[in-house]
A and B are shown apart, each in its own frame.
Chain A
Amino acid sequence: MAAAAARAGDVRSGIRLRFRAQPVWVQALLVVALLALAASLPHVLPPLTERSNYYVAILFKVGLAALLAVGLNVVVGFAGLLDLGYVAFFAIGAYTYAILTGAVAFTLAQRERLPNAVELIPEFHLYSWLIFFVAMAIALLAGVILGAPTLRLRGDYLAIVTLGFGEIVRLVANNLRGVTGGPLGVKSIPHPAINLGGLHYDFSINNNPYYWLTLILIGIAIFLVTRVNDSRVGRAWAAIREDEVAAAAMGVPTVRMKLLAFATGAAIAAIAGVIYASQVIFVSPRTFSLLDPTFGSFIVLAMVVLGGMGGIWGPIVGAAAMVFLPEYFRFLGDGRFLVFGAALVLIMIFRPQGLIPSRRRAAELTGHDIREATLFDVQHGETPS
């Protein structure tokens, strides 16, 4: 089993090394090609089908899930921090958009039965794109506030604190009706629109533009995250993951590096939240519970773990699997999660490193000796920092 895993790892690290060996413009071209391939999916699907808009909705969900998985992978896979409350940042993004576009105000006015409520129907303005950045900033701030006192805790405790924080965010969103609309949720969230000079496009219930938007964001996220991970920060993360005490002794600023990972993950989740809110039009605290079958903390964690932590494709494949499989297995009906739970257990027993692990993480998770892996990497041209 281990030998097979190592061979599989060889193939992948071989591909990865050959990829890295290309000039940067070739790498970019390959990534663009892949993205174009993915982007063409809405037209490759049986295009005359009456249901194609629905299938693209599923693709859109995969895109969002993949974005979340990439973000959580930074926290769990790269920095080794077990965050069980990740959905809180997704919620922050979604609610920031809902609040700043005026959807909350409209919803509340309606509930109060105010006569002028209909004037408050939310619209998307040119400067509304700034909301993306505001959402990211708030999530970053939340990440830092949560992280600063807790990131020094031991692994299990950090997991539970983040779980508690995730639930607190959801419950506060649930209880502060005046700010978030409360348990009844927020409705009538506006679709984005592009109003730039001569270019005018309104997003609406057609799901294709949403799907393409998520692809673009995933591409950007992958690009940024990979660059960061290949730098000193990434190596600091690896050092912290493998032996925090030693890393601190060697002068790695562990708390700052951990906060950076945490904040990055938070920002990515927030962006996903904004897009999600604008497509689904209705958001409520229950979507952001730990156990939500699509975006809940546990499910996104499972995407990362099952797909393979620490790499890039692992979480994305994990996300695709976690969204597609329940659709395929609709005949299982409510039994989906029974099978899913059993699958989680079995995979943790037999292949804890996931489907497409990064070689280094595979070695760590199966308890194999790490030294061998780094030596191998060095022999193939990676320079140690």
Chain B
Amino acid sequence: MRMLALLGVLAILATACGGGGDEEGGGPGKTVKIGFIGALSGDYKFLVIDGFNAAKMAVDAANAAGDLPVKVELVGFDSQGSGDIAAPLVDQIVGDNAFVGVIGPAFSGESAAVGDKLDQAGIPFVTQSATDDALAQNGWTHWFRALGNNSDMGAPAADYIAKVLSASTACAASDGTPYGLGLKEVAVDEFGTLGIDVVLSEEIEPGGKDYSALVTKIKDAGCDGFFYGGYSPEAALIRKQMNDTGLQDITLVGGDGIKDQTFTDVAGKGGNGTISSCTCADLSQSQDPDDQKFVTDYTAEYGQPPAIYGPEGWDIAQMFIAAFKAGNTDRESITDFIRNMNAFHGLTKDYTWDADGQLAPEARILFFYEVKSVQWVVLGSSSEVVPA
């Protein structure tokens, strides 16, 4: 009897102590939280972290300016880009009424995984980088995509391979993720439209080290164009292993997922000449004073200029801040505010949404980037780089 009672008491104490008390009421001085879901560490970190840093900068500035009815806290949730790590993390967001919005999830796979729960909980979630087309077809009413999608990237990439690289046959590979596979399928469809023969279309295991089987098959297939749908760690290893087996003359063309420091670090000089078709903005050459101020502030704060999806992270944070300024502090009203935004002026574009939560087509951008001297540099917009 004692034992049972003891265990019962322990259990209560345990859960009670696990509390740590957030006893928030309403009223001025209340704290609202914005969650940021994405790979804040690990292999995919550099595709995501600048968005987080930029958002944090925005939130800190807004709090300091003192003209908001609430205090805003940005809370990072490190999903390492994985849906199953994100799924239990989302419980923290959904189960805590202080959370009124989410920036992200950064990747398409994790968006698919946790989107249902976020939508059911009525939390507005705006992604800065998840580009899988299918995300728009879930019937979610609280989801927004602040950039173009896979169709916007994959087709121009295939055009580039056909028209700029003048390839006659193509190999395509992906990592099998919703993002990578979806992107590859768009590219393959476009190859078909252009009349380019796709002689190899394969999936690889992300997170692996040894892609010799894929590389052997590429060599065997004898293609002269190669499209890879996936993220930077795998792309860099594939690039290296292709170079090691004499395939260094085949350019690797990918989407936005390869355009980061991880790719250049791991591939090194062997990555020079790699092409990325990206629906992301690069503000480094911009003449706009707001853009330049952002770049300067970011560099001062974090020691290096903002990389991929940094500006977009800032833009989304500003959306939430604008919602707060207009007096919206609960999930539904913030969602309505964001949904009704019309040409909301951001650093990268002016945001207007379609009915399904995607960016209006005229707002979407597409740029090509190339690795030169182990650095990603912008080549130009799609219309500038690829002949019609």
Contacts and interface: CB of A to CB of B under 8 A. Distances in A.
B205 to A, nearest CB: 8
Interface residues on A, range: 35 or more
Contacts of B139: 118, 121
Contact of B14 (A61, A117, A185, A324): A324
Interface in A106-127: 107, 110-111, 113, 117-118, 121
B137 A282 contact: no
A118 B92 CA distance: 28
B138 A188 contact: yes
Interface in B8-50: 8, 11-12, 14-16, 18-19, 21-24
A15 B2 CA distance: 8
A141 interface: no
B137 A110 contact: yes
A342 interface: no
A52 B95 contact: yes
A54 B92 contact: yes
A51 B114 contact: no
A282 B1 contact: no
B91 A54 contact: yes
B3 A11 contact: yes
Contacts of B18: 55, 58, 324, 327-328
B187 to A, nearest CB: 15
Contacts of A107: 112
B121 interface: yes
Given A182-B176, A185-B83, A282-B87, A118 B12 contact: no
B96 interface: yes
Contact of B97 (A50, A287, A320): A50
B60 interface: no
Most-contacted residue by chain B among A51, A57, A121 (CB, 10 A): A51
B22 A38 contact: no
Contacts of A61: 88
Contacts of A51: 22, 92, 95-98
A314 B244 CA distance: 55
A50 B88 CA distance: 18
A53 B3 contact: no
Contact of A50 (B3, B24, B83, B177): B24
A313 B7 contact: yes
Chain B facing A: main interface SS:
helix
A12 B18 CA distance: 28
B95 A187 contact: no
Contacts of B82: 286
Interface residues on B, range: 35 or more
A111 B178 contact: yes
Contacts of B178: 111, 184
A44 B14 CA distance: 12
A207 interface: yes
Contact of A34 (B4, B23, B84, B115): B4
A137 interface: no
A56 B146 CA distance: 33
A281 interface: yes
A53 B123 CA distance: 15
Contacts of B7: 313, 317
Contacts of B133: 113
B117 interface: yes
Given A118-B139, A282-B116, A56 B134 contact: no
B148 interface: no
Contacts of B1: 15, 18, 30
Nearest to A327: B18
22 contacts: A11-B3, A15-B3, A30-B1, A45-B16, A49-B21, A49-B23, A52-B95, A56-B95, A110-B134, A111-B178, A111-B182, A118-B139, A183-B176, A184-B181, A187-B115, A188-B138, A205-B117, A205-B121, A282-B83, A282-B113, A282-B114, A286-B84
